[in-house]
């Protein structure tokens, strides 16, 4: 499955004091926390929450991340994190996450490789229909049992 037509999920957040480093802008490690928060909101909003992950024993795992810092993010800025699955080939997927400021300027870009991980078998597995829906690859709503 490969398409740039997969659903884009937008997550708004305000930069807080705890996001900053001694230079007064967002600490580089904090970007990873903000991206993860946005990813969990994305899949949780589509029914794939932590309770479901624990129930079925399969969940997301990040394999690689590439990050590009373009403009600094500072205290009390309102930002939007856009997340979109770009491709899914066999067990491996690619996700784009970009951060925009209030002016709509691109401040940060990331691309990551991820997959669906079986917590019991400790290995990557093929995407399930629930997972494909949760990450915006399919629009056919599924019942999470």
pLDDT tens, residue by residue, 67-102: 999 999 999 999 999 999 999 999 999 999 999 999
> What is the model's pLDDT at position 1?
46
Contact by Cβ (8 Å): 91, 130:
no
DSSP string, 126-145: PPPHHHHHHTTS--S-----
Kindly tell me the sign of the dihedral angle through the C-alpha atoms of 63, 99, 50, 44. Answer: negative
> What is the model's pLDDT at position 77?
97
Task: Kindly tell me if the per-residue pLDDT of 4 is higher than 70.
Answer: no
Mean residue pLDDT of the chain comes to 94
With the CA atoms of 89, 90, 92 and 94 taken in that order, what torsion angle do they form, in degrees rounded to the nearest 10?
Answer: 20
Q: What is the mean pLDDT of residues 46-58?
A: 96
pTM above 0.85, yes or no: yes
Contact by Cβ (8 Å): 61, 13:
no
Q: What is residue 50's three-state secondary structure?
A: helix
pLDDT tens, residue by residue, 22-47: 999 999 999 999 999 999 999 999 99
């Amino acid at each position: 499955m490969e398409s740039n037509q997969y659903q884009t999920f937008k997550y708004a957040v305000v930069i807080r004091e705890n996001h900053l480093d001694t230079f007064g802008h967002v600490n580089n490690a904090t970007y990873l926390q903000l991206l993860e928060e946005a990813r969990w909101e994305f899949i949780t909003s589509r029914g794939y929450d932590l309770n479901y992950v624990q129930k079925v024993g399969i969940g997301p795992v990040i394999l690689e991340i590439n990050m590009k810092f373009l403009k600094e993010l500072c205290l009390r800025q309102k930002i939007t994190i856009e997340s979109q699955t770009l491709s899914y080939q066999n067990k491996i997927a690619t996700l784009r996450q970009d951060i925009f400021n209030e002016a709509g300027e691109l401040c940060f870009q990331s691309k990551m490789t991820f997959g669906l991980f079986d917590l019991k078998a400790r290995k990557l597995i093929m995407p399930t229909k629930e997972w494909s829906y949760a990450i915006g690859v399919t629009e056919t709503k599924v019942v999470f049992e």
